[in-house]
Amino acid sequence: MSAVTVIAKKRDGGALSPEEIRWLIEGFVAGRVAGYQMAAFAMAVFLRGMTPAETAALTLAMRDSGRVAKLHGARGPKVDKHSTGGVGDKVSICLAPLLAACGVRVPMISGRGLGHTGGTLDKLEAIPGFRVDVPLSRFERLVKTHGFALIGQTADLAPADRKLYALRDVTATVESIPLITASILSKKLAEDLDALVLDVKVGRGAFMKTLPEARALARSIVSVGRAAGTRVSAVLTRMDVPLGRTVGNALETAEAFEVLLGGGPDDLVECTLALGVEMLRAGKLAKSDARAEALLRKAITSGRAAAKMEALVAAQGGDPRVVREPDRLPRAKHQSAVNATRSGVVQDIDALAIAHAALRLGAGRTRADQSIDPSVGIELVKKPGELVKRGEPLACIHAKSRSAAEAEAAAVLDAYRVGARAPRPQALVIERLRG
């Protein structure tokens, strides 16, 4: 076998065998296959696609390029959630302790934000002292003790994905369904899961802008997951408007805690419960959706979900008081209201425009090596369907200085559409795909 023959076979539209794919990935990680050859391979896959069997082989080869967590001592089904990324998406921080409180084991390995979408790790690092750089052995112990853990990708987890993604990022080969499928699933399958629930965000604030694209990705991940022996289901959720009322790391973490304490914005609660129902069903801990939702609500009202979060924050080095006392999270020096210039009903908020404003304030990064400011962001005082009077606040900008807030005021105002008529209500959950 040689890299040239494998690349040429894919270039000419052939289907690769599992042995050819594994040989290529192992060679790439060991340094026998050069980066330029892997980039050519990625472009061949981008142009020619892959069969489900090839995608499954690629996923497993990438998973096996590193360590796979061992959670067999943990009681209960092991189920995780993966979101394709959105604006204001802090669901993981609500969902993991909530499901742990219901008896599911949630070994959650998350990523950082890049570009307009936020990352769970950045939100968690807003908690004073909280450590996400936890080795796999300690991660396994945390999951066994607390029922869940929230950590970042370790160097020994699916290293082939990290190396390949770095090449795809600079060779215009990110937007390929088989490559995205293998990238997402290789990392998730390394968590030793029984089941995975995928939140595929659809809309202008999402990676997948249209329903056909989102469906294609969801179907690919569900079928490859099944071929690899893991139950995968998907929920397609709307991402045209930011989720919840906050965008920015500390603001979002505080909002996620509100949900655990029984409050929080309706759309965030709805998204959390919808994904929680799928996770309980996938873990076979509830026989119906109604029963699953009742279990989740009980875990919140009983205080068990918040207590789970407090225990984990302490175990990962953070100050557990932040869960009930959000004032302990970093707060930006300057807050500035963005007022409505007309009276009416909020019809729309452009998630992408809000995300870009938050990014410029310092809440996110455009390059992986940039640092972020956990305290800055945007609070959406009004959401679609709500009335506003001229001169009343639509949003509040949290910034490091008055001038930084003023620089984004026009962009935030422009992201809002206020009109005479209420917008047509749109369901947050578009459809479900059960594997």
Catalytic residue ranges: 82, 161, 168, 183, 187
Part in contact with ligand URA (CB under 6 A); list of ranges 121-129, 173-181, 288-296, 314-322: 173-181
Report CA-CA distances (Å) from 173 to 50, 322, 336. Answer: 14, 41, 40
Closest contact distance (angstroms) between CB of 187 and ligand URA is: 7
Choose one: 34-42, 145-153, 174-182, 246-254; the region binding ligand URA (CB under 6 A): 174-182
Q: Which of 156/406 has CB closer to ligand URA?
A: 156
Phi, psi of 413 (to 5 degrees): -60, -40
Q: For residue 396, how many other CB atoms are within 10 A of its CB?
A: 19
The amino acid present at 87, given as its one-letter code, is: V
Phi, psi (rounded to 5 degrees) for 128? -55, 125
Token readout for 281 is 């069903």
Nearer to ligand URA, 154 or 336 (CB): 154
> Which residue, 184 or 381, is less far from ligand URA as judged by CB?
184
Q: Residue 79 or residue 208: which is nearer to ligand URA going by CB?
A: 208
Q: Which is nearer to ligand URA, 179 or 418 (CB)?
A: 179
CB of 89 to ligand URA, least distance (A): 13
- Applying CB under 6 A, does 185 fall inside the site for ligand URA? no
Task: Report the residue number, 65 or 336, with the smaller CB distance to ligand URA.
Answer: 65
Q: Closest-CB residue for ligand URA?
A: 183
Residue of the chain from 3, 184, 329, 412 that contacts ligand URA (CB under 6 A):
184
Minimum distance, C-beta of residue 176 to ligand URA, in the bound complex (Å): 8
Looking at 101, 180, 282, 388, which residue binds ligand URA (CB under 6 A)? 180
Question: How many angstroms from the chain centroid is the CA of residue 263?
Answer: 21
Q: How far is the CB of 7 from ligand URA (least distance, A)?
A: 20
3-class secondary structure per residue, 19-64: HHHHHHHHHHHHCCCCHHHHHHHHHHHHHHCCCHHHHHHHHHHHHC
Contacts 24+ apart (CB under 8 A), 1-8: 3/27, 3/33, 3/34, 3/37, 3/41, 4/37, 6/41, 7/37, 7/40, 7/41, 7/44
Nearer Cβ to ligand URA (202/269): 202
Contact region for ligand URA (CB under 6 A) — 180-188, 307-315, 321-329, 370-378? 180-188
And the tokens for 158?
């699916």
CA distance 115 to 96: 24
Cα–Cα distance, 179 to 368 (Å, whole number): 20
Q: Which amino acid is at 387?
A: L
Query: Quick one: which segment of 120-128, 176-184, 265-273, 420-428 binds ligand URA (CB under 6 A)?
Result: 176-184
**Cβ 221 to ligand URA shortest distance, Å:** 11
* Strand 148-152, strand 106-110: pairing: parallel
- Torsion, Cα 88 92 95 98, to 10 degrees, reads -120
Please report how close the Cβ of residue 220 comes to ligand URA at its closest, in angstroms: 12
**How far apart are alpha carbons 136 and 144 in whole angstroms?**
12
Residues in contact with ligand URA, counted by CB under 6 A, come to a total of 6
Q: Which stretch binds ligand URA (CB under 6 A): 136-144, 177-185, 355-363, 414-422?
A: 177-185
Nearest distance from residue 382's CB to ligand URA, in Å?
31
- Which CB atom, from 179 or from 388, has the smaller least distance to ligand URA? 179
Q: Which of 183, 233, 237, 375 binds ligand URA (CB under 6 A)?
A: 183
Q: In degrees rounded to 5, what are phi and psi of residue 247?
A: -135, 120
CA neighbor of 178 nearest in space, from 219, 146, 142, 228: 219
Site for ligand URA, residues 133 to 172, rule: CB under 6 A: 165
CB of 48 to ligand URA, least distance (A): 17
Residues 240-299 that bind ligand URA (CB under 6 A): none
Chain positions 211 to 240 lying near ligand URA, rule: CB under 6 A, are none
Which is closer to ligand URA, CB of 181 or CB of 246? 181
Beta carbon of residue 115, minimum distance to ligand URA (angstroms, whole number): 11
Binding residues for ligand URA, rule: CB under 6 A, are 165, 174, 179-180, 183-184
